[in-house]
Chain A
Amino acid sequence: MAIYVQSRGFSQDDDYCWLPEVPPIIRENRVNDLIQSESFSVVLARYSKKLLLLITGLTAQERTDFRGRKIRNSVAWVLEDSEASERELRAIAASALRDSLATSIDNAIKFGGIHGFEVAWDDLDQLNPKEVCNFSTILDRKIGQNSPTLRDELAYELEECPLPPEKGALVVVTGIKSESALIQAGVWRGLSNLVQAEGWKDPYKKSLTSEAKKQLIIPTKSKNNTLVFLIVSIAIVVVAIALVPLLLKPKL
């Protein structure tokens, strides 16, 4: 298991950074494009035979920076893809969604060291979340508004059911991220403050072409407007040129 932590130190020079390094899996798969990392976010994903659990935006209890601003913690777990690994990450994710993980993580991070903060890695390795089950998965893809109720429902689902077998971002819970971005990513379960719905929205089908279609339509309209303007302008100039000799012609 590889664990990565992002936090910051007290001084101006000790800004947010990842230890021991930026998780390559996050960088390679542009995972942060799916979330508002400064707000509480949870991502469960499967990439290249690896499982990723990313939790961001956990506010430190006491640590503040040189300006008195509360510091945020983020943690990423990367495991080889296996049933046991998945159970472990589902359990941690469920615990995070129930808001019962932030303190344990914060307790493992202290000021000090060359980056301004140090991590008790062993403590993060032994979070001991509750056991999860493996009932059958409901494969429908659903998104909804990021509310305590839906977070709790999602936590329950993660404790009961395995993740779907496919690759990519499977679970995304975040603050501000558009509904279309979640759908575009084809997430299995997605919660965002920008999804307008009381509960879960009706299941959707993964589509990779909807955005591309949208992008194609806009420039075409714009091009048409410019073309019409150009044609009309040329026509007016031509008529004007044609009329000049007539107007200048001496009257008999």
Chain B
Amino acid sequence: MHELKITMLGPSGVGKTSLLTAMYEQFESNIGKTNLQLTPDEESSAILQERLIELKTLLESFESTGGIEGTEGEPEDLKFFVFGLGKKGEKPSVQIKFQDYPGGYHAAKATPEKRQFVKNLMTECVAILIAVDAPALMEQNGKWHDVFNRPQQITDLFKTAYENLDSPRLVIFAPVKCEKYLQDETSAKELLQRLREGYTNLLDLFNSSALLSKVAVVFTPVQTVGSVVFSRIEMNSNAPHFHFRKTTHFAEYNPKDSEQPLRYLLRFLLKLHLDQRSQGFIGLLRNLFRRDSHFKVAVNQFAVGCKTNNGFAMLQGEDLLKVN
């Protein structure tokens, strides 16, 4: 079965697991509208469901500082979240594997083995979601962006991983905890601008002649919980504590735009899958008899709902997401 790997990228506590969980919550409602089905394996489904409950319990208290529990494990222990994707009622034809990992692998103290793990992962994954801590990027003039999001370290990782790149890739910048910054058009524009400034070197790398035609780049801000907004930063033992509060006492879990990275992701993955399936004589016959039309229709359906303004942007490589 065709296999496509995806990973999240970001230092510890940025929100990689929360992003994956928020996207998982949208799987059914988005894919259910197409003629496709995405089927998680038993353990992946149960773990993500557990994380989702944890994300929802953040709303039990009016004010919070924490997120869902941190990820742990040695490289050899980490497991993929596995999903089968295919036509409804049929056996999946492509396997999608999401790899989450502890953000501590980016830390200065990380062992060479852990650093190598991240490098290998970036090389083998066709799509990478960069989780960006939006309050760190936006608050106090971005004072904490370098500390929490480590943009230069991430740029350096891409420099190595995308050397001599010979196949298409998708990179999604997904700022999380964006509730405060998507209130209106002006704040959304500011978020977009800060993202461009905060990741200038990385965007320049993607925009280089060697990568421009091979790497699609998208900005998709996500409101992970929807009803919890950033409130203030308190310093405690020289370390900043980001505080969040509910919009009202009765506010419920109501994530927004968490389907956006998923839509872009599925467009790209299905395009890759279609390209793979159209190769050779069998591929020719498949095209002749329109055996993969359900995939093509789905790509176009996902494309229709992809946002490209008010904080969202497709920076380059739109052709890499289009099917003929």
Interface residues of A in 61-107 (CB under 8 A from B): 64-70, 72
Across the interface, do B102 and A16 meet the contact criterion of CB distance under 8 Å? yes
The reply to whether A193 and B13 form a contact with Cβ atoms under 8 Å apart is: no
> Any chain B CB within 8 A of the CB of A214?
no
At the interface with chain A, which of B72-80, B216-224, B315-323? B72-80
Interface-central residue, B42, B91, B108, by most chain A CB under 10 Å: B42
Binds B, one of A6-14, A117-125, A162-170, A202-210: A6-14
A8 adjacent to B42 (CB under 8 Å): no
A33: chain B residues within 8 A (beta carbon): 77
Given contacts A72-B69, A193-B46, A194-B46, contact A65 B74 (CB under 8 A): no
Contact B71 A38 (CB under 8 A): yes
Q: Which residues on the B side are within 8 Å of A18 (C-beta)? A: 74
Distance in angstroms from A21 CB to nearest chain B CB is: 10
The reply on B88 being an interface residue by CB < 8 A is no
B46 touches A68 (CB 8 A): no
B106 nearest CB across to chain A (Å): 9
Looking at the assembled complex, report how far the CB atom of A146 sits from the nearest CB atom of chain B, in whole angstroms. Answer: 12
- Nearest CB to that of A32 among chain B residues? B77
- Whether A68 pairs with B65 at a CB distance below 8 angstroms is yes
B46 to chain A, nearest CB (A): 4
Q: Tell me whether B285 and A233 are in contact (CB under 8 A).
A: yes
Nearest CB of chain B from residue A3's CB, rounded to whole Å = 18
Of the candidates A10, A37, A68, the one whose C-beta lies within 8 Å of that of B64 is: A68
Within 8 A of B (CB), among A1-34: 6, 8, 10-18, 22, 27, 30, 32-33
B91 engages A221 (CB within 8 Å): yes
User: Which residues of B are found within 8 Å of A150, using beta-carbon distances?
Assistant: none
Please determine whether A36 and B64 come into contact, CB atoms closer than 8 angstroms: no
Q: Is the interface of A mostly helix, strand, loop or mixed?
A: loop
Write out the residue numbers on chain B whose beta carbons fall within 8 Å of the beta carbon of A72. Answer: 69, 72
User: In the complex the two chains form, what is the Cα distance from A11 to B102 in whole Å?
Assistant: 14
Q: Do B104 and A67 touch (CB < 8 A)?
A: no
Q: A66-B239, A67-B65 are in contact. Are A30 and B70 (CB under 8 A)?
A: no
Q: Is the CB of A27 within 8 A of B239?
A: no
- Tell whether, in the assembled complex, residue A12 and residue B11 are in contact, meaning their CB atoms are under 8 Å apart: yes
Query: Nearest chain-B residue to A237 (Cβ)?
Result: B285
Judged by a CB distance under 8 angstroms, whether A230 is at the interface is yes
Q: Let me know if B69 and A6 touch, CB within 8 A.
A: no
Task: Mark out the residues of chain B between 1 and 26 whose CB falls within 8 Å of any chain A CB in the assembled complex.
Answer: 1, 11-13
B13: which A residues are within 8 A, CB to CB?
12, 65-67, 69
Pick from B72, B102, B109, B282: contact of A115, CB below 8 A. Answer: B109
User: Does the CB pair A69–B42 fall under 8 Å?
Assistant: no
Q: Mark A208-226, 1 if CB is under 8 A from B, else 0.
A: 0000000000000110011
User: What residues of chain A lie closer than 8 Å to B77, measured between beta carbons?
Assistant: 30, 32-33, 37
A-B contact pairs, 20 of them (CB 8 A): A8-B104, A10-B237, A12-B11, A13-B12, A13-B108, A14-B109, A15-B102, A15-B105, A16-B70, A16-B104, A37-B77, A38-B71, A64-B66, A65-B70, A66-B13, A68-B66, A69-B67, A72-B72, A194-B42, A225-B91
- B interface, CB within 8 angstroms of A: 1, 11-13, 42-43, 46-47, 50, 64-74, 76-77, 91, 102-105, 107-110, 147-148, 237, 239, 241-242, 282, 285, 288-289, 291
